[in-house]
Amino acid sequence: MTGQDFHAEFDFELGVCQWAERAWPPDSDCENPLVVARQLGTKRRRWDTIVLECDRDGLRQRAEFGERALDSDLLDVIPHAPAEWTYYRDALPDPGYPWRYVREAIHRAGDRGILAVRKSGGRIEIRRKSVYPSWIERVIAIENKPDLDASAARHLAPQIERDVAMGLADEVWVATAETGERIEPALLENVPVEAGILVVDPSAGDADVAWNPRTLDPSKPGVRILDRPSGGDHDASAARFEYVDPEWKAQKRREIAERAYERGWRSYVESMRPDCRHFELSWEEPGPTPFCAAKDRRQTAAECRGSCGEFEPEPPVWRTKGWPIEGGPGAAIKRLLARRRRRQRPGMK
């Protein structure tokens, strides 16, 4: 991928996230609250954009556990925490790994204030502070390909087939950029029929459905495709795959959702340098996006680092004059993006 391609993809990805947060689902007036995040998934597969359609009351209740994600160990404890003081081994299901890791998770949860923990007669007892809700209704995975031509679609097809076979998400989509030209049938043929195709115009904050996806069933076992024959004339090898059970999928969905809740899609700023004097937010119609005054264009997260040749720290005077709150403009940008993220998390204090 060239630097220009990478730049276009980052830009497009932020545009898709902005649009999704405002207008998901396309062609429908369903009004579930949404959590949108980017670059999340499993160890093997990272999706560009994730949209969580949430239960309204559940999402509000989730806020009781704070902004930080519950990791997999905490998810083995918190949802099972009892209403009354109980010895932890009587309250929790056997984790399938040593109990000492469970005890560590219990103490972390206690330190975070999301679980009541006490010692009674040398035994650790736990009691819940709030009920952990079932807050995720549907998980939507979107692969962004602004320049989706027939060859890019062919290239993408095996990955999308893997996503569909696994069935971790409820829907899989490919988002491509609006070019003013109609999507060729040949291109549609190269994308697996189960995936939807979305044509997005990020600058207008608009999107059209070119192809509707098939709804997948994450509660059924999935198939992990490990290896597939190349399909060449001399390739007689068989595809290798393994089954994935629904419990594993349910746990992964919860973990992904928790990370999405914490990070959202504005967390790009955490890996960029808003403390550089050239870092700005450009305020276009769909919402603010990063802009580099030195390069006179949007910069990618990959190039906006301390090692960037044009990086210049904010002059110290910016951090004192006219910026009464702690930090200079860079810190203010971080706060602004965090506030916008919290706005999508009802009930967050």
> Which parts of this chain interact with ligand SF4 (CB under 6 A)?
273, 276, 278-279, 292, 294-295, 299, 303-304, 308, 310-311
End-to-end CA distance of the chain: 42
In angstroms, give the least distance from the CB of 295 to ligand SF4: 6
Nearer to ligand SF4, 145 or 278 (CB): 278
Q: Are 138 and 170 in contact (CB under 8 A)?
A: yes
Nearer to ligand SF4, 265 or 311 (CB): 311
CB contact set of 123 (below 8 Å; sequence gap of 6+): 87
In angstroms, give the least distance from the CB of 319 to ligand SF4: 16
Q: Are 152 and 160 in contact (CB under 8 A)?
A: no
Residue type, 153: A
> What are the C-alpha distances in Å from 261 to residues 159, 169, 222, 269, 290?
25, 16, 25, 16, 22
Nearer to ligand SF4, 124 or 294 (CB): 294
Nearer to ligand SF4, 112 or 298 (CB): 298
What does the DSSP assignment read for 96-147? Answer: SS-HHHHHHHHHHHHHHTSEEEEEETTEEEEEESSPPP--EEEEEEEEE-TT
In angstroms, give the least distance from the CB of 306 to ligand SF4: 7
Which DSSP state fits 191? Answer: S
Nearer to ligand SF4, 105 or 276 (CB): 276
In angstroms, give the least distance from the CB of 299 to ligand SF4: 4
> d(Cα 51, Cα 213) in Å, to the nearest integer?
15
> d(Cα 199, Cα 186) in Å, to the nearest integer?
16
Residue 209 C-alpha from the chain's centroid? 22
Nearer to ligand SF4, 132 or 279 (CB): 279
In angstroms, give the least distance from the CB of 288 to ligand SF4: 14
In angstroms, give the least distance from the CB of 280 to ligand SF4: 8
